[in-house]
Structure 1
Amino acid sequence: MGEFVLVPGARLGAWAWDMVAEHLRGAGHAVYPVTLSGLAERHRPDADRVGQQQHVEDIVSVVEGNELYDVVLVGHSYSGIPVGQAAGRIGDRLQRVVYVDSSVPADGLSFADGWPDDERAWLEEQLIEGDGTWLPAEAEHFVDQDLSEEAVSRLVSRSTPHPGLTLTQPARLTRPVRELPTTYIKCLMAGDAPSADVQEHLQSPQWELLEMPTGHWPMLSQPAALAQILDGVVVS
């Protein structure tokens, strides 16, 4: 059985993985959902000072602190950036990286560097408005993403401001991400093709592409289907 470390995207906490974790545990896996520093129950007054490398350390600490091996590191959306860095750090403890409709780190580049200029400018305005944090999204942000009203309500009510430095500070890779055994899950209602950098990485024999006919938050829209995919990547 695998040891899953599940890392949520921006503004979310470990709670976002509750239903997926339940399915995976039912299949016999060990599951460690992560809340990154400054978010959800780990929110703190100086959240605007939490940096990118702190989120990497959060993930590495879960793996090493729990003495995990055969680890499947799963990153959703933003968290693909720290997950990809942590994957290189944990060495032979890693079994596989899974990116769930996520960004992928590039050495020396930040999460925001992957955005077009106009969207990057919008994000910078958001961080000013949020005093150095990215404020939670309103319900309209989750429309047409295969989410129930209950799921949207959970996303709106439980999201917390996201530390802005984690979005703008550069990634530091100890191993190229294309060298690591990787599954990329593309959620088709959030765009019908992966980003250009992901398509380039998919040329590596270490990478595979899977697709889900759902929106950008499959852990809430199709948790059983996502858990089934994750169960399938484990090497017995």
Structure 2
Amino acid sequence: MTHLKNCQIPEQLRPFVKAIYLMQAPGTWEPPPHSRVLPDGCVELFVNIGDTADSFEVNGRKINGSSFITSRMNCFMDISSPKQVHFITVWFYPGRSWPFFDVPMSFVANQTVCLSDIGKSQAEAAKEMEQRVEAALSDEEKVQAVQEFLIEKLSRNYRAEESFQSTLTLIEKSLAQVSVDSIARAVGLSHRQLLRKYDRCLGLGPKEYIKMKRFLTASKLMKVAKWSLTDVAYEAGYFDQAHFIHDAKQFSGMTPGELRQAKNVLF
């Protein structure tokens, strides 16, 4: 089985990073054929500190590269794991990954992209980080090299986006039961300004983000509550079962009933 070790998050990164893990599995384990990862609006950075020949496959495509990101906006991903796993993973909060990458987040939305393919400046910074990781003697020193890379990127690129962050808070507090127009008015932005900020900082439009968050709420309720699917849909804010079924097929590729019974689904 895969072992996850929680690593301490430096204070500078805590507003942006949800978790940092050391992910490791021995070559003797038998990974499942694939795991389906549901969209959650998050970006995750993977740094391979093992054999780079042992790569993940995402939606049937082998990912070649020492460091890459997955952007889970509004499409599910089927991930196949190699037998030998040794990665550092950095899990960003929704809408908080943009200072660390040199492109609008819409550029990488719903994709798995090697850092070397994002742009020249990103490729150069990633190469330097990978060299520092490779030179480090222990796993802890390798994690520190990744953390220092992120802190350097943050110091160069960050500028406050208070209005954008406020909209994410409004959506979270309302349990995704709010309109795009109402959140734009609440933060004093025009509809066009709001769309531009979501394009750059999140990579997904506000309407689609609200839909995804509502579905994610319903998915979690299905797993923890013994309610009927009708009650789950109502509690998550759906007007009817038909909309719930539509979103389930879009975001998971399954009906709600199939999703409730599915194994190896991660969210």
TM-score (norm 2): 0.26
Q: Which has the higher contact order (CA 8 A, sep 6+)?
A: 1
